[in-house]
Amino acid sequence: MTQTRYSEWWRRSTVYQVYPKSFKDTTGNGTGDIKGLTEKLDYLQELGIDIVWLQPVYVSPQYDNGYDVADYEAINPDFGTMEDFDELVQELHRRGMKLMTDIVVNHTSVEHEWFKQASSGKDNPYRDYYIWKDPGPDGGLPNNWQSKFGGPAWQFDEASGQYFLTLYDKTQADLNWENEKVRRAVNDMMLFWAKKGVDGFRMDVINVISKDQRFPDDDGSVPPGDGRKFYTDGPRVHEFIKAMYDEVFGPYEMVTVGEMSSTTLEHCIRYSSPEEREFSMTFNFHHLKVDYPNGQKWELMPYDFEAMKRLFTQWQTGMQQGGGWNALFFNNHDQPRAISRFTDDKAYRVESAKLLATTLHGMQGTPYVYQGEEIGMPNPIWKGIEEFRDIESLNMYRILQEQGKNPGTAQSILQERSRDNSRTPMQWDDSPNAGFTTGTPWIKVDERYPDINVQKELADPGSILHHYRRLIALRKEHDVFVEGSFIRLDEAHPEVFAYARQAEGAALVVVSNFSGKEITFRFGDKQWAELGERSGQQLLIGNTAEAPVLAQELPLSPYASYMWLIRK
């Protein structure tokens, strides 16, 4: 392991993810805005955040909350103006912080000018910006690919008698990356933002941009059989990303993260190894699919703890061996809140939130904190279907009933799985609407906000928020967070996740009890011996009143979690 391998600044950084629609509203229109984020930069700076990832604020009809872009170079008036954006960049830079924006280029909204042109006739020069196909031999769909949001992946265009591809919502038309003009236009757009001072990009579902040009039917031999094997990590994807690097990311020294849908370790190593000149790091979702029976998101099952630990271990060791870099996360705007999903968000809400944070932040990679996570926001309690806003959830509510589920069952599945679980407004204080807006919020505020809010967390030195602050600071203090190898230590224990990170001169040991039980955890003799000399140990952070010494036998209270540093 050489110094240069890990010398980039963002390996020590922590990213904060902002869902602007639900962060802070300064106008009273019920929707968060850019000024609201600028107002809260001191809060983020005090938390220790280095990079803010701002989700899409471009002009968009908002069917998919901004991931349906109608104009890549203009700000949606609901979020403010270009001046507000410039001010945000300035204010971040003044504080030594960086801005990462969201780039959504697998698809555009059908309201984008390119699509309007493309759908105006087969001879229009923009026609080839999208993926058009004639009906299949039976006069129906061109193939059997399914949309990620439910239903077929093709939409019929009456005027031309052709179908266009939509892997997400029917209003999100997939761009044709085979067309050199599309690639040129995307790079120009990214250069526009780079020149404005944006420091990095989060690239939306970027590993699905290159489709198998034969567009074959999926024979279902590899689950889920919805066509994804023909476009996931597709034939030309690395070539396309390298071209972005050469023209944009490299020259502007950007920090970039690619969101990778249903990807593999091998591809993520390639996407994120510095020598490959593609991205800085990747998001993958395997560790979050551990409660999907047979990969089915819309069926419930208790999560498979052992699978989660195995996946973390595979990705920790695999990415390190291959020279890749993980984006570390449990939460984002597409996932239900992790404390509700994997731990106890009621009796042990505070312990649970700290346990998840310690377990994640001890790993190798760049941690992401999704708004509200740092104050332990759980899934809201949904009272009725009319409270949901997300297009995927509403589609699935209908589809689940078409499949024979009754409305009550369909809603209880949404309660667990809906993306709206993480999209309710940020809870700032105990004033009406949690201090998010003076108007009517676009989506309901969780009623527990008088107890769970930033103001309360700031005032309590033992709070979840202060725990995050310490973890973020620790990563900067100790090289072992960045450099250490990953060794799993719990031998398939049913309740405990334990691992070490070993580097020259230091090791980290993390032990977390993912259960509501009082237990005693015993390190196996082999693992205990592997840890070597332990005399220079120090408890870096924990979530109980005790400060236990690292010993082979450890009594652990419910959801107890500790991190020790051993200096060698």
Give least dist CB 479 to ligand NOJ, A. 32
Give least dist CB 455 to ligand NOJ, A. 29
Give least dist CB 148 to ligand NOJ, A. 7
Burial tier of 549 (Cβ tally within 10 Å: 0-12, 13-18, 19+): exposed
Pick one of 8, 91, 334, 416: the residue that binds ligand NOJ (CB under 6 A).
334
Between 205 and 244, CB nearer to ligand NOJ:
205
Between 326 and 352, CB nearer to ligand NOJ:
326
Residues 6+ apart with CB under 8 A from 506: 478, 479, 480, 484, 565, 566, 567, 568
User: How far separated are the first and last CA of the chain, in Å rounded?
Assistant: 17
- For residue 115, what is the enclosing H or E element? helix 113-118
Between 393 and 463, CB nearer to ligand NOJ:
393
Give least dist CB 259 to ligand NOJ, A. 6
Between 85 and 370, CB nearer to ligand NOJ:
370
Query: In whole angstroms, how far apart are CA 167 and each of 145, 368, 375?
Result: 8, 26, 34
Give least dist CB 7 to ligand NOJ, A. 30
| Site track for ligand NOJ across 241-260, x = CB under 6 A | ------------------x-
Between 209 and 426, CB nearer to ligand NOJ:
209
Q: Is 64 in the site for ligand NOJ (CB under 6 A)?
A: yes
How far is the C-alpha of 272 from the C-alpha of 252, rounded, in Å? 17
**Which residues 5-34 are close enough to bind ligand NOJ by CB under 6 A?**
none
Helix boundaries (H) for 387-504: 391-402, 407-417, 454-459, 464-477, 480-483
- For residue 75, what is the enclosing H or E element? strand 71-75
Does 204 qualify as catalytic in the annotation? yes
Q: Which residue of the chain is nearest ligand NOJ when measured via CB?
A: 67
Give least dist CB 149 to ligand NOJ, A. 8
Maximal CA-CA distance, the chain: 76
List the catalytic residue out of 84, 204, 345, 373.
204
Residues 6+ apart with CB under 8 A from 148: 167, 168, 261, 392
Residues 6+ apart with CB under 8 A from 220: none
Q: Is 554 in the site for ligand NOJ (CB under 6 A)?
A: no
Give least dist CB 104 to ligand NOJ, A. 5
Q: Is 182 in the site for ligand NOJ (CB under 6 A)?
A: no
Between 64 and 199, CB nearer to ligand NOJ:
64
Pick one of 205, 269, 357, 413: the residue that binds ligand NOJ (CB under 6 A).
205
Residues 6+ apart with CB under 8 A from 461: none
Between 259 and 373, CB nearer to ligand NOJ:
259
Q: Is 329 in the site for ligand NOJ (CB under 6 A)?
A: no
**Which residues 110-169 are close enough to bind ligand NOJ by CB under 6 A?**
168
List the catalytic residue out of 25, 64, 259, 373.
259
Q: Is 104 in the site for ligand NOJ (CB under 6 A)?
A: yes
Does 416 qualify as catalytic in the annotation? no
Kindly state the number of chain residues that form the binding site for ligand NOJ, as judged by CB under 6 A. Answer: 9
**Which residues 443-482 are close enough to bind ligand NOJ by CB under 6 A?**
none
Query: In whole angstroms, how far apart are CA 543 and each of 265, 331, 471, 497, 561?
Result: 32, 20, 12, 15, 6
Q: Is 497 in the site for ligand NOJ (CB under 6 A)?
A: no
Give least dist CB 174 to ligand NOJ, A. 11
Give least dist CB 382 to ligand NOJ, A. 19
Between 334 and 530, CB nearer to ligand NOJ:
334
Map residue 98 onto helix, strand or coil. strand
Q: Is 67 in the site for ligand NOJ (CB under 6 A)?
A: yes
CA 478 to chain centre: 25
Between 78 and 351, CB nearer to ligand NOJ:
78
Pick one of 50, 199, 204, 374: the residue that binds ligand NOJ (CB under 6 A).
204
How far is the C-alpha of 238 from the C-alpha of 233, rounded, in Å? 8
Q: How many CB atoms lie within 10 A of CB 488?
A: 18
Map residue 316 onto helix, strand or coil. helix
Query: In whole angstroms, how far apart are CA 198 and each of 99, 365, 475?
Result: 6, 22, 24
Residues 6+ apart with CB under 8 A from 539: 547, 548, 549, 550, 562, 563, 564
Strand 51-54 and strand 485-488: pairing?
unpaired
Query: Which residues of the chain form contacts with ligand NOJ (CB under 6 A)?
Result: 64, 67, 104, 168, 204-205, 259, 333-334
- Residues designated as active site: 204, 259
